[in-house]
Amino acid sequence: MKYKLLSIDLDRTLLTPCFAKVTKKDALAIQKYLSAGGKVCINTGRAPWSAKKFIDYINSFGPNKIQFLSAYNGGYIYDYLDKETHIQTIPHGTVKRIYDLVLKHNAHIWIHSVNGEQNKSIETNKLIYKYFIKFFRSLNLIKVKDLNKLESFKMNIFSASKNKINWFYKDCCKLNLQKQATFCMSRPKVIEISPKNSNKGVILSMLSKKYKIDRSQIMSIGDSFNDKAAFVVSGYAIGVKPKEQPLEKFCNKVIRKNINAVSYIINNLVLDKNLKKK
Protein backbone atom coordinates (compact mmCIF):
# COMPACT_ATOMS: atom_id res chain seq x y z
CA MET A 1 0.00 0.00 0.00
CA LYS A 2 1.58 3.24 -1.17
CA TYR A 3 -0.09 5.64 1.27
CA LYS A 4 0.75 4.64 4.83
CA LEU A 5 -0.71 7.73 6.52
CA LEU A 6 -4.09 9.26 5.78
CA SER A 7 -4.86 12.79 7.03
CA ILE A 8 -8.62 13.49 7.11
CA ASP A 9 -10.39 16.77 7.80
CA LEU A 10 -13.78 16.66 9.57
CA ASP A 11 -16.23 19.42 8.64
CA ARG A 12 -17.51 19.24 5.06
CA THR A 13 -15.05 16.42 4.36
CA LEU A 14 -15.63 13.39 6.59
CA LEU A 15 -18.74 14.81 8.26
CA THR A 16 -22.05 15.20 6.45
CA PRO A 17 -22.71 18.89 5.72
CA CYS A 18 -26.13 19.23 7.40
CA PHE A 19 -25.97 17.37 10.70
CA ALA A 20 -22.21 16.79 11.00
CA LYS A 21 -22.15 13.02 11.25
CA VAL A 22 -19.84 10.26 10.01
CA THR A 23 -21.67 7.87 7.71
CA LYS A 24 -21.44 4.15 8.37
CA LYS A 25 -19.99 3.70 4.88
CA ASP A 26 -17.12 6.08 5.63
CA ALA A 27 -16.50 4.50 9.04
CA LEU A 28 -16.26 1.03 7.52
CA ALA A 29 -13.92 2.27 4.80
CA ILE A 30 -11.57 3.78 7.40
CA GLN A 31 -11.63 0.48 9.29
CA LYS A 32 -10.73 -1.29 6.06
CA TYR A 33 -7.77 1.05 5.58
CA LEU A 34 -6.62 0.53 9.18
CA SER A 35 -6.88 -3.25 8.73
CA ALA A 36 -4.59 -2.96 5.71
CA GLY A 37 -1.92 -1.43 7.97
CA GLY A 38 -2.50 2.27 7.37
CA LYS A 39 -2.37 5.00 10.00
CA VAL A 40 -5.07 7.68 10.28
CA CYS A 41 -4.81 11.24 11.57
CA ILE A 42 -8.03 13.18 12.11
CA ASN A 43 -6.82 16.69 11.23
CA THR A 44 -9.38 19.31 12.23
CA GLY A 45 -10.01 22.81 13.49
CA ARG A 46 -12.50 21.43 16.02
CA ALA A 47 -11.87 20.99 19.73
CA PRO A 48 -10.41 17.65 20.93
CA TRP A 49 -13.54 16.62 22.84
CA SER A 50 -15.68 17.37 19.78
CA ALA A 51 -13.45 15.38 17.42
CA LYS A 52 -13.16 12.46 19.85
CA LYS A 53 -16.84 11.52 19.59
CA PHE A 54 -16.41 10.94 15.84
CA ILE A 55 -13.20 8.98 16.40
CA ASP A 56 -14.97 6.78 18.98
CA TYR A 57 -17.78 6.14 16.51
CA ILE A 58 -15.37 5.02 13.79
CA ASN A 59 -13.42 2.88 16.26
CA SER A 60 -16.63 1.10 17.29
CA PHE A 61 -16.82 -0.60 13.87
CA GLY A 62 -13.71 -2.75 14.30
CA PRO A 63 -10.69 -3.74 16.38
CA ASN A 64 -8.37 -1.23 14.71
CA LYS A 65 -8.15 2.25 16.18
CA ILE A 66 -7.41 5.70 14.85
CA GLN A 67 -4.09 6.67 16.39
CA PHE A 68 -3.71 10.42 15.85
CA LEU A 69 -5.78 13.51 16.51
CA SER A 70 -4.75 17.00 15.49
CA ALA A 71 -7.31 19.50 16.83
CA TYR A 72 -7.45 23.31 16.70
CA ASN A 73 -5.49 23.20 13.40
CA GLY A 74 -2.51 21.62 15.12
CA GLY A 75 -2.73 23.52 18.42
CA TYR A 76 -3.58 20.26 20.22
CA ILE A 77 -1.99 17.01 19.02
CA TYR A 78 -2.61 13.64 20.66
CA ASP A 79 -1.19 10.18 19.99
CA TYR A 80 -3.67 7.64 21.37
CA LEU A 81 -1.15 4.79 21.19
CA ASP A 82 1.79 6.47 22.94
CA LYS A 83 -0.49 8.66 25.14
CA GLU A 84 1.50 11.74 24.15
CA THR A 85 0.05 15.24 24.00
CA HIS A 86 1.62 18.21 22.21
CA ILE A 87 0.05 21.60 22.93
CA GLN A 88 0.66 25.11 21.60
CA THR A 89 -1.29 28.23 22.54
CA ILE A 90 -1.49 31.88 21.50
CA PRO A 91 -0.15 34.07 24.37
CA HIS A 92 -2.73 36.18 26.19
CA GLY A 93 -0.99 39.40 25.13
CA THR A 94 -1.49 38.55 21.46
CA VAL A 95 -5.07 37.47 22.15
CA LYS A 96 -5.75 40.86 23.74
CA ARG A 97 -4.33 42.81 20.78
CA ILE A 98 -6.34 40.78 18.27
CA TYR A 99 -9.48 41.19 20.38
CA ASP A 100 -9.05 44.96 20.39
CA LEU A 101 -8.86 44.99 16.58
CA VAL A 102 -12.00 42.86 16.39
CA LEU A 103 -13.87 45.46 18.43
CA LYS A 104 -12.43 48.26 16.28
CA HIS A 105 -13.82 46.67 13.10
CA ASN A 106 -17.09 45.51 14.70
CA ALA A 107 -16.37 41.90 13.76
CA HIS A 108 -17.05 38.66 15.63
CA ILE A 109 -14.51 36.58 17.49
CA TRP A 110 -14.67 33.04 18.85
CA ILE A 111 -11.85 32.29 21.27
CA HIS A 112 -11.10 28.62 21.86
CA SER A 113 -9.29 29.08 25.16
CA VAL A 114 -7.60 26.60 27.48
CA ASN A 115 -10.41 27.05 30.03
CA GLY A 116 -13.01 26.77 27.29
CA GLU A 117 -11.62 23.39 26.26
CA GLN A 118 -12.23 22.11 29.79
CA ASN A 119 -15.74 23.63 29.98
CA LYS A 120 -16.81 22.90 26.39
CA SER A 121 -17.32 26.58 25.70
CA ILE A 122 -16.22 29.33 23.30
CA GLU A 123 -15.58 32.87 24.51
CA THR A 124 -16.93 35.62 22.27
CA ASN A 125 -17.70 39.32 22.05
CA LYS A 126 -21.22 38.70 20.66
CA LEU A 127 -23.76 36.06 21.64
CA ILE A 128 -25.97 36.15 18.54
CA TYR A 129 -25.14 32.51 17.64
CA LYS A 130 -25.56 31.25 21.21
CA TYR A 131 -28.52 28.92 20.70
CA PHE A 132 -27.40 27.75 17.26
CA ILE A 133 -24.03 26.65 18.67
CA LYS A 134 -25.58 25.01 21.72
CA PHE A 135 -27.96 22.98 19.54
CA PHE A 136 -25.70 21.99 16.65
CA ARG A 137 -22.29 21.83 18.31
CA SER A 138 -23.24 20.87 21.89
CA LEU A 139 -21.22 23.66 23.45
CA ASN A 140 -21.82 27.11 24.90
CA LEU A 141 -20.96 30.60 23.74
CA ILE A 142 -20.04 32.82 26.67
CA LYS A 143 -19.05 36.48 26.89
CA VAL A 144 -15.36 37.27 27.24
CA LYS A 145 -14.71 38.28 30.85
CA ASP A 146 -10.97 38.58 31.43
CA LEU A 147 -8.44 38.82 28.60
CA ASN A 148 -5.44 39.36 30.84
CA LYS A 149 -4.81 35.65 31.43
CA LEU A 150 -6.61 34.22 28.43
CA GLU A 151 -4.50 31.81 26.38
CA SER A 152 -6.05 30.43 23.21
CA PHE A 153 -5.64 27.30 21.11
CA LYS A 154 -7.37 29.00 18.19
CA MET A 155 -9.46 32.05 17.32
CA ASN A 156 -12.06 32.46 14.57
CA ILE A 157 -12.66 35.99 13.26
CA PHE A 158 -15.65 36.52 10.98
CA SER A 159 -18.02 39.13 9.65
CA ALA A 160 -20.85 39.50 7.15
CA SER A 161 -18.63 42.06 5.43
CA LYS A 162 -15.58 40.86 3.50
CA ASN A 163 -14.21 44.42 3.60
CA LYS A 164 -14.24 44.39 7.41
CA ILE A 165 -12.28 41.15 7.44
CA ASN A 166 -9.75 42.57 4.97
CA TRP A 167 -9.26 45.76 6.97
CA PHE A 168 -8.95 43.74 10.17
CA TYR A 169 -6.19 41.64 8.61
CA LYS A 170 -4.38 44.74 7.29
CA ASP A 171 -4.34 46.18 10.81
CA CYS A 172 -2.96 42.89 12.14
CA CYS A 173 -0.16 43.11 9.60
CA LYS A 174 0.60 46.71 10.58
CA LEU A 175 1.11 45.50 14.15
CA ASN A 176 3.21 42.53 12.95
CA LEU A 177 0.76 40.13 14.59
CA GLN A 178 1.28 37.64 11.77
CA LYS A 179 4.75 37.12 13.29
CA GLN A 180 3.16 36.10 16.59
CA ALA A 181 0.43 33.80 15.27
CA THR A 182 -0.61 31.89 12.13
CA PHE A 183 -3.38 33.53 10.09
CA CYS A 184 -5.43 31.53 7.60
CA MET A 185 -8.46 32.76 5.63
CA SER A 186 -10.34 29.46 5.62
CA ARG A 187 -13.43 31.08 4.06
CA PRO A 188 -13.83 34.44 2.25
CA LYS A 189 -15.19 36.06 5.42
CA VAL A 190 -13.50 33.87 8.05
CA ILE A 191 -9.96 34.08 9.40
CA GLU A 192 -8.66 31.28 11.64
CA ILE A 193 -5.78 32.25 13.92
CA SER A 194 -3.56 29.55 15.44
CA PRO A 195 -0.30 29.55 17.44
CA LYS A 196 2.76 30.70 15.50
CA ASN A 197 4.18 27.30 14.62
CA SER A 198 0.85 25.53 14.36
CA ASN A 199 -1.05 24.34 11.29
CA LYS A 200 -2.40 21.12 9.81
CA GLY A 201 0.90 20.33 8.14
CA VAL A 202 2.97 20.40 11.33
CA ILE A 203 1.61 17.13 12.69
CA LEU A 204 2.20 15.37 9.38
CA SER A 205 5.82 16.49 9.39
CA MET A 206 6.12 15.29 13.00
CA LEU A 207 4.60 11.88 12.20
CA SER A 208 6.70 11.54 9.07
CA LYS A 209 9.85 11.94 11.14
CA LYS A 210 8.74 9.93 14.18
CA TYR A 211 7.40 6.89 12.31
CA LYS A 212 9.80 7.12 9.34
CA ILE A 213 6.96 7.60 6.85
CA ASP A 214 8.16 9.38 3.74
CA ARG A 215 6.02 12.37 2.81
CA SER A 216 5.35 10.73 -0.56
CA GLN A 217 3.47 8.07 1.45
CA ILE A 218 1.07 10.59 3.04
CA MET A 219 -2.34 11.43 1.57
CA SER A 220 -4.36 14.41 2.81
CA ILE A 221 -8.09 15.00 2.35
CA GLY A 222 -9.73 18.37 3.05
CA ASP A 223 -11.94 21.14 1.72
CA SER A 224 -10.68 24.58 2.75
CA PHE A 225 -7.58 26.77 2.93
CA ASN A 226 -6.71 25.62 6.45
CA ASP A 227 -6.00 22.25 4.78
CA LYS A 228 -3.42 23.79 2.45
CA ALA A 229 -0.59 23.27 4.98
CA ALA A 230 -1.40 19.56 5.06
CA PHE A 231 -1.65 19.38 1.27
CA VAL A 232 1.79 20.87 0.63
CA VAL A 233 3.61 18.36 2.87
CA SER A 234 1.74 15.33 1.50
CA GLY A 235 2.50 13.11 -1.43
CA TYR A 236 -1.09 13.26 -2.62
CA ALA A 237 -3.78 15.84 -1.80
CA ILE A 238 -7.50 15.53 -2.44
CA GLY A 239 -9.91 18.45 -2.25
CA VAL A 240 -13.46 17.49 -1.33
CA LYS A 241 -15.84 19.94 -2.99
CA PRO A 242 -13.57 22.90 -2.19
CA LYS A 243 -15.41 26.23 -2.07
CA GLU A 244 -12.34 28.26 -2.97
CA GLN A 245 -11.10 27.57 -6.48
CA PRO A 246 -7.49 28.72 -5.72
CA LEU A 247 -7.19 25.76 -3.32
CA GLU A 248 -7.52 23.38 -6.26
CA LYS A 249 -4.02 24.17 -7.51
CA PHE A 250 -2.68 22.45 -4.37
CA CYS A 251 -4.77 19.33 -5.06
CA ASN A 252 -3.76 16.30 -7.06
CA LYS A 253 -7.44 15.44 -7.37
CA VAL A 254 -10.77 17.15 -6.66
CA ILE A 255 -13.94 15.28 -5.66
CA ARG A 256 -17.18 17.16 -6.32
CA LYS A 257 -19.27 15.49 -3.62
CA ASN A 258 -18.87 15.40 0.14
CA ILE A 259 -21.25 12.58 1.06
CA ASN A 260 -19.27 9.32 1.47
CA ALA A 261 -16.31 10.99 -0.22
CA VAL A 262 -13.85 9.36 2.19
CA SER A 263 -15.12 5.83 1.46
CA TYR A 264 -14.85 6.53 -2.27
CA ILE A 265 -11.29 7.79 -1.86
CA ILE A 266 -10.16 4.87 0.27
CA ASN A 267 -11.75 2.15 -1.87
CA ASN A 268 -10.91 3.62 -5.27
CA LEU A 269 -7.78 5.70 -4.76
CA VAL A 270 -5.96 4.65 -1.59
CA LEU A 271 -6.30 0.86 -1.80
CA ASP A 272 -6.26 0.84 -5.59
CA LYS A 273 -2.77 -0.03 -6.78
CA ASN A 274 -3.43 1.68 -10.11
CA LEU A 275 -3.60 5.20 -8.63
CA LYS A 276 -1.51 7.59 -10.69
CA LYS A 277 -0.40 11.04 -9.63
CA LYS A 278 -1.40 13.72 -12.12
Tens of pLDDT along 63-89?
Answer: 999 999 999 999 999 999 999 999 999
What integer pLDDT is reported at residue 119 of this predicted model? Answer: 87
What integer pLDDT is reported at residue 182 of this predicted model? Answer: 94
Query: Under a CB-based contact definition with an 8 Å cutoff, are residues 152 and 90 in contact?
Result: yes
What integer pLDDT is reported at residue 101 of this predicted model? Answer: 97
Residue 239 host element (H or E): strand 236-240
Q: Domains in the chain, ordered, with CATH?
A: 5-87+199-270 (3.40.50.1000), 92-195 (3.30.1240.10)
What integer pLDDT is reported at residue 136 of this predicted model? Answer: 66
Strands 121-124 and 108-113: antiparallel
C-alpha distances (whole Å) from 212 to each of 98, 216, 218 are 38, 11, 11
Q: Which residues of the chain carry a pLDDT beneath 50?
A: 275-278
pTM score above 0.85 = yes
> Side chain identity at 22, as an amino acid letter?
V
What integer pLDDT is reported at residue 134 of this predicted model? Answer: 74
What integer pLDDT is reported at residue 1 of this predicted model? Answer: 87
Q: Find residue 39's DSSP bridge partners.
A: 5
What integer pLDDT is reported at residue 135 of this predicted model? Answer: 64
